[in-house]
């Protein structure tokens, strides 16, 4: 097997002392920012993008992978101990997890979340090894029309499927596409939308956009609404589980994984739907359904596993097609571009060593998280009490530093403030941030594919439908739009009959 | 614990949720106008861009800006109509966000001011100084009352990051007026 050889090489790279150190830093940093309110893995990776100037790509991605998985762990700690989840993927965990914590079973809730995340993360990463290379193999053969269609699908899916309001999703998406237009057009060398400012000719750096939207926008929004009462954190000792807890947890872990991975791997995946489905399933299958709503361990085990499995699934389109479907993946792809590595189906062939080192480090990071985080849980609980003025002053400080370090000019800080205010506006009016970021990243690539497709097709629009894969993807896009109406029809029919 | 809806002392009812009944969200019309303006900018701003040879690049550099601009204008109209019909966005929630009281825009303005000050001074004073001021200023605005301690923490962070970037990453951050000292 090619994949197994690649994976072995990957382990050889990831297990060098230096890279193990990066993995450790990654998982600890990731868990910390996952625990801390107002800052998440996407923003942390964005802030760390300056390290790509001086650190080997493999080491950087090993650290980013640790941050990515660590962020998932940290998020569950917050929702169990604080009951105010910041990330939509942890909302479901808070339902039962916080009830368990209030009933004095915080240690068991954290344990089932941590071990469930480990199980789901390991299985999910194994599935990633199984699927990603073959998908990439198929995708390499696709031409511009198919690739254009697939990117379109990713944009539409992220925008229309996730989030409450499609209108707001599309506004965010097109604002992102507009931001992506700024700069020199690659094919004609003409300035577009630069207002004659030479500094804008290279386009707006994705680091600046990501940090502004995620960090500055969030900090300003929190500042406008800062909770005036002190937070109530439930104290916790070292997580552990009794025999009964294990018996009740292992099936939900596996079922959660089965929900999470496929949803994560789909272009519109996300973790909301699989965590919700897992919760509903566990409630239905539970031997004591009356416990749900009062702290049932199954309601933590299943959704947490689903959450982590979907995180692993997200890496399938990212590594095999170069398509980001969540914010962290989007920023990691930006980091790849920073190294001059073109994300896309050719990644496995051209940079196999890097990709396999990243995948191997996911296995390692997952184990590190389990080993480190069970004993460290009380420390993470303490972290939740960080005085808020310092927390947000720190976020603004590092955000400014990260943006300033890109080009060492004040102009980037001005852009940071400008887009930070945009991020604030978006939160005020309920515009989702993910479609905007994905629009900024995919917009320019989408344009190039479209123009290349039409170049080869000599300007005939019909060329976009010249490949079977493209046609199938367009059908899927139409179905995505029609799905809500179709389900309404189907639901109505039995009643009328 | 906080299971019951939050009702603060002295205030009969939280302001923000109550406003839902009070007609359209006028501020959202401003958002619609902004979206439309960006759309118009996309189209007008690329009006004079020269297309290459049509044989090499049939679509040209003006196509996507026009599509994006047009879409933004249409979306802005849809948003305006939806707003007038009473549609409201769901303001984002979070760990430290308490939506039950009115937004405190004064704090936001102060933070933006500190930020602007950093932009204005960073070239002259250098990051090691403005970074420390940024940290202490933000902490102050958000309710910290220990000036000296905040400044010390800020200075440790900014000087530390200066050397971390210089030594660790090989990125020399301009020292500003501290040139020769750092």
pLDDT tens, position by position, A374-388? 888 888 888 888 888
Tell me how far apart the alpha carbons of residues A341 and A348 are, in angstroms, rounded to a whole number. Answer: 11
pLDDT score of A417 more than 90: yes
**Is the alpha carbon torsion for B115, B119, B121, B122 positive or negative?**
positive
- Backbone φ and ψ of A216, nearest 5°: -65, -45
Structural contact between residues A28 and A372, judged by C-beta atoms closer than 8 angstroms: yes
According to the model, what pLDDT value does residue A492 have? 64
At A145 the three-state DSSP class reads helix
**Of A387, A397, A406, which to mutate for an interface test with B (greatest number of B Cβ within 10 Å)?**
A397
pLDDT score of B75 more than 80: yes
pLDDT score of B3 more than 50: no
Structural contact between residues A228 and B98, judged by C-beta atoms closer than 8 angstroms: yes
According to the model, what pLDDT value does residue A88 have? 67
Please, what is the angle between helix A166-181 and helix A410-428, to 10°?
170
Please, what is the angle between helix A410-428 and helix B105-125, to 10°?
170
* Domain ranges across chain B: 15-84, 105-178
Determine whether the interchain pair B142/A410 forms a contact, defined as Cβ–Cβ distance below 8 Å: no
Structural contact between residues A481 and A158, judged by C-beta atoms closer than 8 angstroms: no
Tell me how far apart the alpha carbons of residues A193 and A182 are, in angstroms, rounded to a whole number. Answer: 5
Exposed e or buried b for every residue in A154-165, given b needs 16+ CB within 10 A?
Answer: bbbbbbbbbbeb
**Mean pLDDT of the A479-494 span:** 74
Residues ≥6 apart with Cβ < 8 Å to B9: none
**Mean pLDDT of the A28-40 span:** 86
Structural contact between residues A86 and A38, judged by C-beta atoms closer than 8 angstroms: yes
**Mean pLDDT of the B100-111 span:** 91
Chain B residues with CB-CB distance to A223 below 8 A: 104, 107-108, 111, 141-142
Determine whether the interchain pair A227/B171 forms a contact, defined as Cβ–Cβ distance below 8 Å: no
According to the model, what pLDDT value does residue B16 have? 43
Q: What is the DSSP string of A450-491?
A: HHHHHHHTTT-GGGGGSSHHHHHHHHHHHHHHHHHHHHHHHH
Helix or strand run (H / E) with residue A299: helix A298-321
- The per-residue pLDDT for range B122-145, each reduced to its tens digit, is 989 999 999 999 999 999 999 888
According to the model, what pLDDT value does residue A305 have? 94
Percentage of chain A exceeding pLDDT 90: 43
Separation in Å, CA of B80 to nearest CA in chain A:
11
pLDDT band of A27, cuts 50, 70, 90 = very high
Q: Tell me which of A186 and A223 has the higher pLDDT.
A: A223
- The per-residue pLDDT for range A335-369, each reduced to its tens digit, is 888 888 888 888 998 999 999 999 999 999 999 99
According to the model, what pLDDT value does residue A42 have? 84
Q: Search chain B and give the residue with CA nearest A190.
A: B49
Q: How many CB atoms lie within 10 A of CB A34?
A: 27
Determine whether the interchain pair B135/A174 forms a contact, defined as Cβ–Cβ distance below 8 Å: no
Structural contact between residues B150 and B136, judged by C-beta atoms closer than 8 angstroms: yes
pLDDT band of A1, cuts 50, 70, 90 = low
According to the model, what pLDDT value does residue A254 have? 95
pLDDT band of A45, cuts 50, 70, 90 = confident
Determine whether the interchain pair B95/A85 forms a contact, defined as Cβ–Cβ distance below 8 Å: yes
According to the model, what pLDDT value does residue A494 have? 54
pLDDT score of A423 more than 90: yes
pLDDT band of A87, cuts 50, 70, 90 = low
According to the model, what pLDDT value does residue A109 have? 92
Structural contact between residues A148 and A446, judged by C-beta atoms closer than 8 angstroms: yes
Tell me which of A36-45, A265-274, A409-418, B6-15 is least confident. B6-15
According to the model, what pLDDT value does residue A497 have? 40
pLDDT score of A126 more than 90: yes
N-terminal to C-terminal alpha carbon distance within chain A: 54
pLDDT score of B82 more than 80: yes
Q: Search chain B and give the residue with CA nearest A403.
A: B119
Average pLDDT, chain A: 88
* Domain ranges across chain A: 2-496
- The per-residue pLDDT for range B11-55, each reduced to its tens digit, is 333 444 444 456 788 899 999 999 999 999 999 998 888 776 666
Residues ≥6 apart with Cβ < 8 Å to B169: A50, A51, A53, A54, A55
According to the model, what pLDDT value does residue B43 have? 94
According to the model, what pLDDT value does residue A483 have? 77
According to the model, what pLDDT value does residue B20 have? 47
Chain A residues with CB-CB distance to B156 below 8 A: none
pLDDT band of A235, cuts 50, 70, 90 = confident
**What's A392's DSSP letter?**
H
Kindly provide the ipTM of the predicted complex, given to two decimals. Answer: 0.86
Tell me how far apart the alpha carbons of residues A95 and A176 are, in angstroms, rounded to a whole number. Answer: 33
Tell me how far apart the alpha carbons of residues A75 and B110 are, in angstroms, rounded to a whole number. Answer: 30
**pTM for this one?**
0.87
Determine whether the interchain pair A428/B89 forms a contact, defined as Cβ–Cβ distance below 8 Å: yes
Q: Is B93 on the interface with A (CB under 8 A)?
A: yes
- Backbone φ and ψ of B80, nearest 5°: -65, -45
According to the model, what pLDDT value does residue B1 have? 34
Determine whether the interchain pair B138/A193 forms a contact, defined as Cβ–Cβ distance below 8 Å: no
A186: left (phi over 0), alpha (psi -120 to 50) or beta: alpha
Q: Tell me which of A191 and A235 has the higher pLDDT.
A: A191
Structural contact between residues A426 and A172, judged by C-beta atoms closer than 8 angstroms: yes
Q: What is the DSSP string of A403-446?
A: HHHHHS-HHHHHHHHHHHHHHHHHHHTT--SHHHHHHHHHHHHH
Tell me how far apart the alpha carbons of residues A413 and A419 are, in angstroms, rounded to a whole number. Answer: 10
Q: What is the DSSP string of A72-117?
A: HHHHHHHHHHHS--SSGGGHHHHHHHHHHHHTT-HHHHHHHHHHHH
Q: Search chain B and give the residue with CA nearest A394.
A: B135
Q: Is A211 on the interface with B (CB under 8 A)?
A: no
According to the model, what pLDDT value does residue A159 have? 86
**Mean pLDDT of the A117-124 span:** 95
Percentage of chain A exceeding pLDDT 70: 96
pLDDT score of A496 more than 50: no
Helix or strand run (H / E) with residue A136: helix A106-140
According to the model, what pLDDT value does residue B6 have? 38
Give the C-alpha distances (Å, rounded to integers) separating A189 from B50, B52, B61, B63: 10, 9, 9, 15
Residues forming a β-bridge with A403: none
Q: Tell me which of A259 and A190 has the higher pLDDT.
A: A259
According to the model, what pLDDT value does residue B18 have? 43
Q: What is the DSSP string of A168-223?
A: HHHHHHHHHHHHHH-EE-TTT--EES-TT-GGGTT---HHHHHHIIIIIHHHHHHH
Determine whether the interchain pair A413/B119 forms a contact, defined as Cβ–Cβ distance below 8 Å: yes
- The per-residue pLDDT for range A218-231, each reduced to its tens digit, is 899 999 988 766 67
Tell me which of A30-34, A124-128, A147-151, A480-484 is least confident. A480-484
Q: What is the DSSP string of A355-388?
A: HHHHHHHHHHHHHHHHHHHHHHHHHHHHHTT--H
Three state DSSP letters for chain B: CCCCCCCCCCCCCCHHHHHHHCCCCHHHHHHHHHHHHHHHHHHHHCCCCCCCCCCCCCCCCCHHHHHHHHHHHHHHHHHHHHHHCCCCCCCCCCCCECCCCCCCHHHHHHHHHHHHHHHHHHHHHCHHHHHHHHHHHHHHHCCCCCHHHHHHHHHHHHHHHHHHHHHHCCCCCCCHHHCCCC
CB pairs under 8 A between A and B: 247
């Amino acid at each position: 097997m090619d994949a197994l050889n690649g994976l072995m090489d990957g382990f050889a790279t990831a297990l060098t002392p230096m890279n193990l150190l990066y993995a450790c830093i990654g998982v600890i940093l990731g868990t910390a920012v996952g625990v801390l309110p107002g800052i998440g893995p996407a923003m942390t990776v964005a802030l760390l993008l300056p390290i790509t100037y001086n650190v080997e790509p493999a080491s950087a991605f090993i650290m980013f992978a640790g941050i990515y998985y660590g962020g998932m762990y940290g998020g569950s700690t917050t929702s169990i101990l604080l009951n105010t989840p910041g990330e939509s993927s942890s909302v479901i965990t808070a339902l039962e997890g916080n009830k368990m914590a209030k009933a004095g079973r915080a240690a068991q809730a954290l344990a089932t979340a941590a071990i469930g995340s480990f199980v789901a993360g390991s299985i999910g990463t194994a599935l990633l090894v199984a699927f990603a290379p073959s998908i990439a193999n198929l995708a390499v053969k696709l031409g511009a029309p198919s690739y254009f269609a697939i990117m379109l699908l990713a944009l539409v899916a992220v925008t229309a499927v996730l989030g409450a309001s499609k209108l707001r999703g599309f506004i965010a998406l097109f604002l992102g596409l507009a931001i992506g237009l700024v700069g020199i057009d690659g094919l004609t060398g003409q300035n577009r939308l630069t207002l004659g400012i030479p500094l804008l000719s290279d386009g707006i750096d994705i680091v600046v956009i990501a940090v502004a939207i995620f960090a500055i926008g969030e900090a300003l929004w929190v500042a406008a609404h800062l909770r005036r009462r002190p937070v109530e954190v439930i104290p916790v000792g070292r997580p552990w589980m009794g025999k009964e807890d294990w018996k009740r947890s292992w099936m939900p872990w596996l079922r959660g994984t089965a929900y999470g991975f496929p949803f994560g791997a789909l272009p519109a995946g996300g973790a909301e739907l699989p965590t919700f489905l897992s919760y509903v399933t566990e409630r239905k299958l539970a031997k004591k359904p009356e416990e749900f709503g009062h702290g049932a361990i199954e309601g933590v085990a299943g959704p947490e596993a689903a959450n982590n499995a979907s995180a692993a699934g997200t890496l399938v389109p990212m590594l095999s097609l170069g398509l980001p479907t969540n914010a962290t993946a989007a920023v990691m792809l930006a980091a790849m571009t920073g190294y001059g590595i073109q994300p896309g189906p050719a990644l496995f062939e051209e940079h196999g060593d890097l990709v396999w080192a990243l995948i191997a480090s996911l296995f390692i990071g997952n184990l590190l998280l389990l080993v480190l985080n069970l004993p460290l849980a009380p420390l993470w609980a303490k972290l939740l009490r960080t005085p808020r003025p310092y927390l947000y002053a720190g976020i603004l400080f590092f955000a400014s530093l990260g943006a300033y370090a890109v080009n060492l000019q004040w102009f980037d800080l001005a852009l940071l403030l400008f887009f930070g205010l945009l991020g604030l506006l978006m939160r005020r009016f309920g515009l989702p941030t993910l479609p905007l970021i994905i629009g900024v990243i995919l917009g320019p690539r989408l344009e190039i594919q479209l123009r290349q497709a039409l170049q080869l097709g000599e300007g005939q629009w019909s060329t976009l439908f010249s490949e079977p894969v493209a046609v199938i993807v367009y059908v899927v896009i139409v179905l995505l739009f029609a799905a809500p109406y179709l389900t309404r029809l189907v639901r109505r029919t039995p009643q009328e009959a | 614990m906080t299971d019951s809806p939050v009702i603060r002392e002295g205030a009969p009812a939280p302001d923000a949720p109550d406003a839902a009944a009070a007609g359209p969200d006028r501020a959202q019309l401003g958002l619609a106008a902004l979206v439309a303006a960006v759309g118009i900018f996309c189209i007008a701003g690329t009006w004079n861009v020269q297309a290459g040879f049509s044989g090499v690049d049939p679509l040209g550099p003006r196509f996507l800006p026009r599509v994006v601009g047009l879409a933004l204008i249409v979306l802005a109209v849809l948003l305006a109509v939806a707003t007038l019909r009473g549609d409201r966005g769901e303001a984002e929630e979070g760990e430290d966000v308490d939506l039950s009281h009115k937004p405190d825009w004064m704090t936001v303005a102060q933070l933006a001011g500190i930020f602007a000050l950093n932009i204005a001074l960073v070239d002259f004073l250098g990051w090691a100084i403005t970074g420390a001021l940024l940290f202490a200023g933000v902490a102050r605005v958000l309710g910290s009352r220990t000036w000296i301690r905040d400044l010390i923490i800020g200075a440790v962070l900014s000087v530390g990051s200066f050397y971390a970037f210089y030594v660790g990453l090989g990125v020399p951050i301009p020292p500003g007026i501290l040139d020769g000292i750092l």
